[in-house]
Amino acid sequence: MRDERLAVIVASTQRAQTLHETLLSLLRQHRLPGQILVSVPDDGHLDPATRRIENIAVIHSQAGLTRQRNAGIDALAPTIELVTFLDDDVEVHQEYLENIVRAFRSRPDAVLADGRVLADGRDIPRHRAQEIVAASGNAPRAVTVIGPELAYGCNMTVRRSVLATARFDERLPLYGYMEDRDFAFRCARLGQIIRCEDATLVHLRPYGGRGSPRRFGFSQVMNPLYLWRKGSFASRRSVFFQVSRPLVVNSVLSLVPSQSSHRRQQFAGNCQALGRALRGRIAPEDMLRL
């Protein structure tokens, strides 16, 4: 069954094979979306087989998760009422979209929903992700209200009406670290944030596609400070935890031989961001100058 009121947007960069496998997972849905929009910087980020899949529209955008998702929003058909944002590295249960739609119908006060992540590892093989999804069975049809800080950007569905006022912040460049928290906080001003427990998936998190560890380390510190200034944190204690945690973890793991190289680079990025913040400059886009 194809639902012309439902769209899925997948932003991707430098993960052609992973993206293709995610789209195949999406095409096995019992409720197929009316639109599947794949947002990439150019066709060099696509597997040739992806271009041959019917009912998938490819749009080009400047690189960056927030920009690519916003470009997908701009390409939505007038009939769309619900929009699902998926990362390019997920394996979704066949009833994922069916259960998300049901959750919104049962909760007219909800403006954003995510699903339940069964596994969220580092470099989970696709075949293993499929096994986890297949073994999950039928989850209980529970819908819980969650805080915006818990909404997970690897899978989020929003009402189309929300997108008239809430977009992804394009000052969060490239992989848009913590863009989901910022977006969910803005959505929370318009209604409830919910989790659909029987909309299940696996987040594979393959190595590659993230780019410079130093840039990522910079975002780990700078982006929470920027979002706190915007009002996307409930307390100073919360932002302190988000800033201090990568500093501690990266400094400690930089001493572990198997992780020392990229952890040292991440820690260097952490320190660069902290140094700029202490000098009064809160600018996530400075990451692009590293």
Local confidence band at 209 (pLDDT 50, 70, 90 cut-offs): low
Smallest Cα–Cα separation from 119: which of 108, 130, 109?
130
- The type of residue at 81 is E
* Cα atoms in the 13 Å half-sphere on the side-chain side of 92: 33
**What is residue 235's predicted lDDT score, i.e. its pLDDT?**
82
**Tokens found for residue 57:** 């529209």
Query: How far apart (Å, rounded) are the C-alpha atoms in residues 18 and 204?
Result: 9
- Alpha-helical (H) ranges within 90-209 are 96-106, 126-135, 179-188
- Is the per-residue pLDDT at 77 higher than 80? yes
What global pTM score does this model have?
0.94
CA dihedral of 89, 193, 105, 167, whole degrees rounded to 10:
-70
Local confidence band at 210 (pLDDT 50, 70, 90 cut-offs): low
**What is residue 98's predicted lDDT score, i.e. its pLDDT?**
96
**What is residue 130's predicted lDDT score, i.e. its pLDDT?**
96
**What is residue 1's predicted lDDT score, i.e. its pLDDT?**
85
Secondary element (H or E) of residue 66: helix 65-74
pLDDT digits (tens, 9 = 90+) for 213-249: 999 999 999 999 999 999 888 788 999 999 999 999 9
**Tokens found for residue 79:** 């009939």
**Tokens found for residue 174:** 């490239």
Query: How far apart (Å, rounded) are the C-alpha atoms in residues 137 and 197?
Result: 12
Residue 65 CA, distance from chain mean position: 8
State the architecture of 2-203 in CATH terms.
Alpha-Beta Complex (3.90)
- The type of residue at 159 is R
pLDDT digits (tens, 9 = 90+) for 88-111: 999 999 999 999 999 999 999 999
Domain assignments of the chain as residue spans, ordered by start: 2-203, 213-289
CB 270 within 8 A of CB 246: yes
Secondary element (H or E) of residue 265: helix 260-278
